[in-house]
Structure 1
Amino acid sequence: MIFVTVGSQKFQFNRLLVEIDRLIEEKKINEEVFAQTGHSDYKPKNYKYKEFLDRDEFLRVMNKCDKVITHGGTGAIIGAVKQGKKVIAIPRLKKFGEHVDDHQLQIVSQFEKMNFIRRINDERELMNVVLEIENDNFRTYKSNTIAIIDSIEKFINKVEK
């Protein structure tokens, strides 16, 4: 199953949702697709969707899928990578009224350079990447939380002395 999540920013991401609908209509995507469509005004015709998911719904869908197609938000990307999902990220772009600037280009680029995800900049690249991603091997996310907490505790202990 493919989970499409476009975040909760107050911007539409219609071009991604339209492209996925087209690929399903043309039978180029044959697996089940579910989307969290956010503030987009496009209503998918060929796959199930909900505008917003609560935390439990989001986790249920995330657990069910093997691929995630997402915008370039760090939370969405990190959440999917932590779950070991194959991630395709497409940045929201200012020129399409999808965000206030193009910062997601840099975010997506960095995650791809670290070999955690596949990046596409144009929705027309989606079909090929959906097919190819099955064979991609990505880095496994390893939490650094304990090391960060240890570092903070050491710093606090030095300050207190």
Structure 2
Amino acid sequence: MPRELRRFVTAPGPRGEQLARDGEDVTILPQYERHPRELGASIAAAVRLVRRDRPQIVVSTGAGSAALYCAVARAAGAKLVFGETMARVTGPSASGRVTARLAHANLVQWPEMGSVYPRARVCRPLLLEDVGAPLAGDAAGTLVVVGTHTAPFDRLVSIAAAAARAGVLPAPIVAQVGPSRVPFPEAETHEFLAPEAMAAAIARSQVIVSHGGAGSLSAALRTGHRPIVLGRTRRHGEHFDDHQEQLMGKLAESGLVVALDDRLGPEHVEAALAPLPRPEASPLPSMHDALASALDELGLARL
């Protein structure tokens, strides 16, 4: 779709900032983290934006503020294509339960999700595209990543810090720790890293210790890493639900990640440094092809 005909609507954060730097037309909606006082502002902003732009087609993962925008745009007559995030393996996202019902077409990225959204087209996971590139020959040190979720991930920071003190993780160590206040003197710590800095840190690191976020895992796999992963959980107050554990388990079954529990030992680092397996060939369509097909069926492929 030509750049002049598209707009990105998203919540505040580094992804929207990167899109704007890339020259895209980006509108930031008020942050909506499921708190009632944020609901009115997000709905009002979505209504203003839809009235201004009159979108014909909305393609979205439907998360947070975007879910509200999707509902308003659908009510105004827009065609809606919903793509469930690749982080969802066995159950729907909270926003997906609503957005999928409103959508004219639904796309999912794991076979198990075909029974969750019966009308959905099952696609190859974006996360597995381009997996298997060799690790850079000059890669060195360790990168620890907790992601951009607003809740601290003290469990992962504590486990990584203990492994660093025991000499398990190769130095130098760079750690993106979010709002955590767990001491980690062995590492160069950052609350957050800009997308360019994160991409560079991933590419140059030998070992990656990560939360179970799909974006972080995808970036690691594309650069030849087998990340050591601890998923955020609801029971520890680290996320809304346990989808990161589900994704971690799915990828561990295929040998693409090293799953952690409560400690990080030399055996985890050894496993992380073994070459990645190539994903098995899949007869399923890519997300790109499935989206193009959905748009064509809706009469919107030439927009």
State which drifts further: 56-65 or 133-142. 133-142
Aligned counterparts of 1:103 and 1:62: Cα–Cα separation in 2: 23
Counterparts in 2 of 1:79-118, with a 5 A limit?
79-118=219-258
Counterparts in 2 of 1:126-137, with a 5 A limit?
126-137=265-276
Which structure has the highest helix share of the two? 1
Counterparts in 2 of 1:48-67, with a 5 A limit?
48-67=188-207
Deviation at 1:140, TM superposition (A): 5.8
Q: Deviations over 1:84-128 (max 9, x none)?
A: 1121111112232222222211111111223321212x1314442
Alignment correspondent of 1:12: 152
Which of 173, 180, 187 is the aligned partner of 1:47? 187
Q: Contact between 1:89 and 1:108, CA under 8 Å: does it hold in 2?
A: yes
State the percentage of identical aligned residues.
22
Deviation at 1:76, TM superposition (A): 1.0
Q: Contact between 1:115 and 1:139, CA under 8 Å: does it hold in 2?
A: no
- The structure with the larger Rg is 2
State which drifts further: 72-81 or 20-29. 20-29
Aligned counterparts of 2:218 and 2:164: Cα–Cα separation in 1: 27
Q: Contact between 1:13 and 1:92, CA under 8 Å: does it hold in 2?
A: yes
SS in 2 for 1:97: coil
SS in 1 for 2:227: strand
Q: Contact between 1:6 and 1:70, CA under 8 Å: does it hold in 2?
A: yes
User: Structure 1: 5+ residue runs without aligned partners?
Assistant: none
Aligned length: 156
**Cα distance 1:159–1:45, how it changes in 2: closer, same or farther (>3 A)?**
closer
Deviation at 1:3, TM superposition (A): 0.9
Aligned counterparts of 1:72 and 1:22: Cα–Cα separation in 2: 20
RMSD: 2.5
Aligned counterparts of 1:38 and 1:147: Cα–Cα separation in 2: 33
Aligned counterparts of 2:236 and 2:297: Cα–Cα separation in 1: 50
Which of 148, 155, 178 is the aligned partner of 1:38? 178
Q: Contact between 2:146 and 2:210, CA under 8 Å: does it hold in 1?
A: yes
TM-score, normalised to structure 1's length?
0.82
State which drifts further: 54-63 or 98-107. 98-107
**Cα distance 1:126–1:158, how it changes in 2: closer, same or farther (>3 A)?**
same
SS in 2 for 1:81: helix
Aligned counterparts of 1:154 and 1:62: Cα–Cα separation in 2: 34
Counterparts in 2 of 1:119-130, with a 5 A limit?
119-120=259-260, 122-130=261-269
Aligned counterparts of 2:173 and 2:161: Cα–Cα separation in 1: 10
Aligned counterparts of 2:203 and 2:156: Cα–Cα separation in 1: 22
Aligned counterparts of 1:91 and 1:135: Cα–Cα separation in 2: 21
State which drifts further: 65-74 or 25-34. 25-34
Q: Deviations over 1:5-54 (max 9, x none)?
A: 00010111112212222222222334321111112122311111100011
Q: Contact between 1:92 and 1:99, CA under 8 Å: does it hold in 2?
A: yes
Q: Contact between 2:258 and 2:271, CA under 8 Å: does it hold in 1?
A: no
